[in-house]
Amino acid sequence: MIKLAVLGCGRIGQMHARNVSNHPDFSLAAVYDVNKEFGEKIANELNVPLVSDDKEIFEDKEIDAVLIASPTDTHIEFIEKSVATNKPVYCEKPIDLDILKVNECAKRLKANKVPIHLGFNRRFDPGHVEAKEVLKSGEIGDLHQVLITSRDPGLPSWEYYQAAGGLLRDMTIHDFDISRFMLDEDPIKVFAITNALIEPKLKTELNDADTVMIIMETASGKQCHINNSRSSAYGYDQRIELVGNKGMVLSDNKKINNVRKFSSNGETTSVVEHFFLERYYDAFMNGLSSFASCIKNNTAPEVGFEDGRKALLLAEAAYESLKTHQMINVNYD
C-alpha cells in the first residue's frame, strides 16, 4: 500500500481523501489544511491524522506520496517540496495561473525523476478512453475533427470567479488537455471568442467570461473545436466527438441510471450526473490507479508536468487571440 497524504481539504481535497481511502493501492496517511476546521472534518470522518504544518508531511519518512488539492497558487511550492523530499506527487490542475512561474519551475525541475502526475482526470474517464481506443483501432478511419463540449450545471459564487483566474485557465484548461490527448498531436494554431452572456458583470468587473468557443488546428491539419459554458439549463454537459473519414465516435453524457419513462407527455430518461464529483468519479479513481502504477512500476506518469504546461500555453494563446482577434501560432518553448 502506498501511504499518501492529502494537502488541502476543500471541495476536491475531501473527495480525493475519500477516494484515496477507498482505493486498493493507497492508504490515507494524513491530511493537512491551513483552515483547521476543513482538515478536522475529513480527518474525523476518515479517522486519519490531521497535521498542523505541511512540514510534518514532507519530513515524515513513512509517507510515500502526496496529493495536492490546495488552491492553485500553492501548487508550485508543494510540487517542489515533494520533489525535494522524493515523494511522488499527484497535483490538481492547473499547475499555476502564471506561465512564467510554470516555465521557471520547469527549468528548476529539469533533472527531476520524481513522478509528477497532473490532475487532468478526464483522460481516465471510461467513455473518453473507449472513444480513443475506437479511434486507435482504425474503426473510424483517419481522425479529422475533435469536438469537445463542456458546460457546467450552474454558476459558481462570485468569490470563486475572483480566485479562479479566468475561464480559460481554470475551466477550459481541461479541454485543452483532453484535445491533445484525443488529437495525439499538439495544436499549433488557436482562435478564441468569449462572452459573458449569462453573468454580464463578469466582463465589466473581472474582464472574464462565461461562454467560450475555441477552434484549433494541428500541424497535420486535424481540427478541434471546444465550447464551454459556466451554466447549462439542462445540467452538466460533457461530450466528446471524434470524427474520422470512416465514421464518428461519441463519448456521451453519463446518466444517473438507464430508466426510461413513457407517458402521454412522451418519453423521458434519467437526468445526467449532477457535476464533476459524480460524473467523473470513475475517472478520478482510474487517475489514482494510474498514479499508483507509475509509482509501483517506476514509470513516467501518463499525464505529467509538461502536459500541464502545454495546456496552460494553449490557454495563453487563446487569451492572445481574444486580445488581437487573430488566429495565434502556439509557441511551446
DSSP string for 204-254 = HHHS--SEEEEEEEETT--EEEEEEES--TT--EEEEEEEESS-EEEE-PP
**Residue placing its CB nearer to ligand NAD in the complex, 218 or 302:** 302
Q: How far is the CB of 250 from ligand NAD (least distance, A)?
A: 21
CB of 34 to ligand NAD, least distance (A): 4
Of residues 283 and 292, the one with the C-beta less far from ligand NAD = 283
The residues that bridge with 237 in the sheet, in sequence order, are: 151
Please choose, from the candidates 5, 111, 19, the residue with its C-alpha nearest in 3D space to the C-alpha of residue 48: 5
Query: Please, which residue, 35 or 220, has the CB nearer to ligand NAD?
Result: 35
Q: Which CB sits closer to ligand NAD, 32 or 236?
A: 32
> Smallest distance, Å, CB 11 to ligand NAD?
4
What are the cell numbers at 94? 492547473
| Strand 260-263 with 266-269, pairing | antiparallel
Give the burial string for 51-76 (b: 16+ CB within 10 Å, else e): beebeebbebeebbbbbbbbebebbb
Closest CB to ligand NAD among residues 34, 114: 34
Residue with cell 518553448: 333
Residue type, 321: S
User: Whole-number minimum distance, CB 159 to ligand NAD, in Å?
Assistant: 9
> In the chain, what is the straight-line distance between the N-terminal and C-terminal CA atoms, in Å?
38
Q: In 3D, which of 278, 265, 314 has the Cα closest to residue 99?
A: 314
Closest distance of CB 255 from ligand NAD, Å: 20
Distance, in Å, from the CA atom of 233 to the CA atom of 231, rounded to the nearest integer, reads 7
- Name residue 223's amino acid: Q
Using the minimum distance from each CB to ligand NAD, give the nearer residue, 66 or 146. Answer: 66
**Residues engaged in binding ligand NAD (CB under 6 A):** 7-13, 32-35, 38, 69-72, 74, 92-93, 119, 121, 276
64 vs 152, beta carbon nearer ligand NAD: 152
Work out how close the CB of 132 gets to ligand NAD at its nearest, in angstroms, rounded to a whole number.
19
The residue type at 266: G
Instruction: Take residue 41 and report the three cell numbers written for it.
Output: 472534518
From the CB of 237, what's the least distance to ligand NAD, in Å? 15
Alpha-carbon distance of 25 to 255, in angstroms, equals: 28
